[in-house]
Amino acid sequence: MQVDLTVNGVRHALDLDPRVTLLDALRHDLGLTGSKKGCDHGQCGACTVLVNGRRINACLALAVMHEGDEITTVEGLGEPGALHPLQAAFVTHDGFQCGYCTPGQVVSACGMLGEVREGWPSHVSVDLEGPVDLSDVEISERMSGNLCRCAAYTGINEAIREASAKSEAAE
């Protein structure tokens, strides 16, 4: 099938088998290898991308389903010398060890902070109407779809809190 995908602001015309996942199209057809294939079952979050600003597991989505959508991968968030605030915070707070899950963690955190800004409560949110306090419990609940085998969660939580505080200060 001919499919037009807009990835990181660039439109790509692809000829794809309709069974190709978004993850495989990104990695194999577009050469965007930041999103990782971890479990290939939607359980680890290593493949997380943003579609129209919402986080999804790219291993569970067919590429043909996302024609006309705005897809953002970790490569679209920042670049060397101009890192996204979350990328910079992950470096500052050692939010990674082996680094395999890091792209998915960063992209998921970006989507999660958007949800927080929009006032979406989580299962553990104390107040359903008020601002969300990004405690360790709140971050852990919201990021529960992204696993880190190295257990760098302390650094990940600190990085998310720092990036959130910087984005709030910039508003």
Q: How confident is the model at residue 17 (pLDDT cuts 50, 70, 90)?
A: very high
Higher pLDDT, 127 or 12: 12
Fold observed for domain 85-170: DNA polymerase; domain 1 (1.10.150)
Per-residue tokens: 7: 């990835």
The model's confidence at residue 166, banded by pLDDT at 50, 70 and 90, is confident
Which phi and psi angles does 95 have, rounded to 5°?
A: -85, 25
- For the domain covering 2-76, report its CATH number: 3.10.20.30
* Residues 53-75: tens digit of each pLDDT: 999 999 999 999 999 999 999 99
Q: pLDDT tens-digit profile of 128-157?
A: 887 888 999 999 999 999 999 999 999 999
pLDDT at 127: 85
What are the extents of the domains in the chain? 2-76, 85-170
Q: Decide if 69 contacts 51 (C-beta within 8 A).
A: yes
SS3 content of the chain, % helix, strand, coil (to 5): 40, 15, 45
Lowest-pLDDT choice from 38-47, 49-58, 121-130, 162-171: 162-171
E-only strand ranges, the chain = 2-7, 10-15, 48-51, 54-57, 70-72
**pTM as predicted:** 0.94
pLDDT attached to residue 170: 59
* Average pLDDT rounded to a whole number, residues 118-124: 92
